Each structure stands twice: as C-alpha cells, then as structure tokens.
Amino acid sequence: MAARKSSYRPRTRNAVILVDYTNVFGVISERIDNDQPDAVVLDLVTSLKRHVSEHLNLRPVRTLAFANLPPGTMRGHRATGAWLAQGIEPHLCYARSRDEAAAIELAMEAMKLSAEMGPGTAFVVLSGNQWFVPLVQRLFRSGHFVLMATLESPSAQDDLPADCQDLYLSADFLLGGPGRKLDLASDQDEDSEGESQRPTETVAITDTAVLKTLGIIESYFGQYEEIYLTPLLRKLSEIIDDPDEEPKVLINDLEQVGAVWLEKRRGFPHNYTVLLMNMEHPDVAEIKESSLTDSDEYASYDDDHEDQSEANDDYYDDSDGNYDDDDDEYPSD
C-alpha cells in the first residue's frame, strides 16, 4: 500500500518546563569533571526540551529556570544572559547556594501556572536530586500530565507514594549524544559496559526480510531520533505475517550488519532500551532518502502515527512487553 501524504498530526498539548537550576547545577558540579557546569546544564535543558517535543508529543511553550543567584554578581549576569538567549525565563532568588529558596519558588510558581493555564497543560520538572513529591502529587491530582525528570532517581518503587511512581524519569541519558558515556550515578552499574554503541563497521543487507524490517522501522518510527524498543517490537509483530520471522531476531540481524544499534536507558520504575539507526550505513541512507520522496513498499505510518506517542507516555514502564534491560530473551552477540 502506498504511503499517504496527509496533513494529519496527532494532538499535542502545551507544556511548561520548570528547572530547579540550583539543584541541577550542584549535582553536575559534584559529579563530573568540567570547568563549565553552566554550559552542561544548558545542554541538559535543551536535550530535555527536544525529548519532550519529539518523544512525548508535547509542545514546550515556556521554560523557567529557578536559581539562587544574586543578580548583582557577574556570574549571575552571565548565567541569565545565556538563559535569555535560549528563551529560558530566569527566576532568581537572593539566597545562599544551598538554600531551598529556588525549589520553594519553583513549587509556588508551578501551582500558580496550574491555576492559570488549566489541566490541559503538561508540567515537566527538571531537578538534580530533589523529587518534589508534594508538587508532583498536586499537579497530577489537578488533572495535569506530569513528568519529573531527575539526575538521581528513586532506586525503588516504594521510595515514592503509589499515585506518582510512574511519573518519574531518570534524566541521565539526556546528557551527551548517541553512544554517550557520561553517567552521573556515583555507583555506576557494571552492566553499562555492555551497552551497544554506534557500529564501527557496516555490511550491505542481502536478506530481503531484514531489509523490509528496516523499511518498516523507517516508515513507522523514522521521525524519531531514538526508538523505544518495546513499541517497535510490538509493531513488527503486528505487521510481519511470517511465523518464521521473529522480530527480535530481525533486529539482531540489523545490529549484525551495523544498520542499527541498541542503547540501555535508566528509567523509573523500569529501565528500557532504545534503538538508533546508523545514518552512515548505505541501506539506511538509501531508505531515509527514499522516504523523503516516495515509499510505495511500506504502509503509511499516518494510520498509526500515535503508536509511539502513546507508548511514550509510559515508555519507562516496559512491564507489559517484558523487553526491558533485564530481558534475557533478547538475542545478544
């Protein structure tokens, strides 16, 4: 069936991003060897905005940063100047760096915006190791979509009340690019060394089923930089009608030829895996190019365009698909 070019887009909702800048800055400064932690924080905020837009189908309309930065200092002027250049609204509190003034100001502003903008607005909060449980609960109970992104996430489900356990996201993966090695956790897991990284060698795809699988991935998920493995495997299971073609094996074959690679992500309450396409592989490049013009071989993703967006609302909960990082059934090299 030929791909249909339509103007259809899934409904998006506006989102407000609130950054506990003082706390994020403190965690990054303590955990990494970098003489420009402010720049790292800004990169983190930029990555979060991209993630919210591309993977959660939210439209960031305002980004507010809260910090204990005395406005009269040169450092305060430099930081706020960088924020303004990126469209971030500064909210400065005259307080010591370890004071909770910025966090309190963030919570108060969030409740004010909640009343002004109504339940149709989503709230995304970024912090280092502050969990803002009362704020998350209040926003969620008021009908908002809420995502609490933290660099140091709760380690167990019972660390949080039951009504907000699924609203937390580990933000570590937002730092760096594909094949990232930066890990802010003080006790980095040994199994992170086994994460798949960008392929260094590529081989042309000769198997028709494997090539078709690559086309299906591009048709349904090609608009995403990172593709969550669980909804991808589910979609392949729906489309592929040959009982001899196992989606997991097909993905493994794509890995073997260097067309894709997998990376593990830390999430709460479940870790998860994403697939990334290697743009340097000739078959990937050819399919990407053809998808921009005409893709007659594969079904249009328009009919199921919301599959990934809906899955992303709970993408860090892989319990229904059992394809998380601890899935021993997934083939490995």
Residues 54 and 163 in one domain: yes
Q: Looking at the structure, do residues 155 and 17 belong to the same domain, yes or no?
A: yes
Give the mean model confidence (pLDDT) for residues 193-212: 81
Q: Which of 177, 170, 198, 184 is nearest to 325 (CA)?
A: 170
Q: Is the pLDDT of residue 137 over 50?
A: yes
22 occurs within a structural domain = yes
Question: Is 326 domain-assigned?
Answer: no
Residue 71, pLDDT > 70, answer no
Is 182 within a domain?
A: no
Do 216 and 164 belong to one domain? no
Are 154 and 238 members of one domain?
no
Q: How far apart are CA 123 and CA 139, in angstroms?
A: 8
Mean pLDDT of 109-128: 95
Same domain, 103 and 233: no
137 plus 214 within the same structural domain: no
Quick one: 57 and 160 in the same domain?
yes
Please check whether residue 331 lies inside any domain of the structure: no
Q: What is the pLDDT of residue 122?
A: 95
Residue 181 has pLDDT above 50, yes or no: no
Confidence grade of residue 223 (pLDDT, cut at 50, 70, 90): confident
Which region among 16-25, 186-195, 206-215, 262-271 has the lowest average model confidence (pLDDT)? Answer: 186-195
- Token pair in block for residue 125: 């909060």
Instruction: Say which CATH number the domain at 88 has.
Output: 3.40.50.1010
What is the extent of the structural domain holding 84?
Answer: 13-174
Around Cβ 130, how many Cβ atoms within 10 Å? 23
| Residues making up the chain, counted from first to last | 333
Q: Report the alpha-carbon distance of residue 49 to residue 38 in Å, rounded.
A: 17
Residues 170 and 32 in one domain: yes
Q: Which of 111, 28, 25 is nearest to 68 (CA)?
A: 25
Q: Would residue 92 count as lying in a domain?
A: yes
How far, rounded to the nearest angstrom, does the alpha carbon of residue 263 sit from its chain's CA centroid? 12
Q: Where does a domain end: 119, 141, 174? A: 174
pLDDT over 50 at 312, yes or no: no
Number of independent structural domains in the chain: 2
**CB within 8 Å of 251: residues ≥ 6 apart:** 213, 229, 232, 233, 236, 260, 262, 275
Note the pLDDT of residue 221. 87
Label residue 246 left, alpha or beta by phi (over 0 means left) and psi (-120 to 50 means alpha): beta
| pTM score, whole prediction | 0.56
Predicted confidence at residue 166, as pLDDT, reads 85
- Name the pLDDT band for 313 (thresholds 50, 70, 90): very low
Do 252 and 296 lie in one domain? The reply is yes
- Clarify whether residues 158 and 260 are in a common domain: no
Residue 194 has pLDDT above 60, yes or no: no
Query: Tens of pLDDT along 75-86?
Result: 555 667 778 888
Q: How confident is the model at residue 260 (pLDDT cuts 50, 70, 90)?
A: very high
pLDDT at 247: 92
Taking all residues of the chain, what is their mean pLDDT, rounded to a whole number?
76
**186 in a structural domain:** no
Is the model's pLDDT at 215 over the cut of 90?
A: yes
**Inside any domain, residue 29:** yes
203 and 308 in a common domain: yes
Are 299 and 205 contained in the same domain? Answer: yes
Q: Is residue 188 part of a domain?
A: no
